[in-house]
Amino acid sequence: MNAMTTTSLEERKNHILAHEEITANRLARRVLDKPVPPVWMILIPVFFVFHAWRIKQYGSGLKDFAENYLVSRRRALETACRLEGGEDLSEQADADGQAAVPAEARPHFEELMSLLTDHYRALLAVRGNSYAALVKAHYRSKSNYMLFCNRLNTIENRFNCALLPKIEGELEFDDLRAVVGRMEAGIIELRRQELDEIFS
């Protein structure tokens, strides 16, 4: 593989990753509530300091949410790049980190990783100077890309729902379901906007 092709592949990879990072940050803002202080709090400095601390926690939460959302996407993108580069990954039994996923959710995780990897490979195989250009070059029409997005939404939701019973922490099950519901609604809305922007 010559340097020009390698650079080309790297540029396409960067377009895809940048798109996923933007999506993750937008989704985080839809899922996490930004603290809004009561009017009286602004007038009393000591309480406003407390609000500033909550805003800092919110900012940290946004960053953590986005980073965690991107973990599987980065892994799938790396796998796609290596496959496009001609590597044989058949010997890597745990390339996608299946061992860390609870057994009940593993089939959904494997399906998600397979779909993402195939999607990224398809985008890496075409030419384009932006994520939108790569999508247009591969999917060719709004309806084709919409079919992919709908399938991705369905698989992501199945995976998230399969994980719910295994999540331990301070939140009640109903609260966790509400968060997953907000994630699902948020990503559907973001992907609809993306469809309109790419195929306008």
Q: Is the dihedral of CA 41, 46, 49, 50 positive or negative?
A: negative
Distances (CA, A) of 54 to 36, 40, 41, 87, 118: 9, 16, 13, 47, 40
The whole-model pTM stands at 0.80
Cβ atoms of residues 187 and 27 within 8 Å: yes
Contact by Cβ (8 Å): 184, 158: no
* Cα angle value 106/111/115 (rounded, 5°): 150
Q: What is the pLDDT of residues 87-125, one digit of tens each?
A: 877 655 454 456 678 888 899 999 999 999 999 999 999
Digit-coded pLDDT (tens) for 148-196: 999 999 999 999 888 887 776 656 767 777 888 889 999 999 999 999 9
Closest CA to 147 of 119, 125, 120: 119
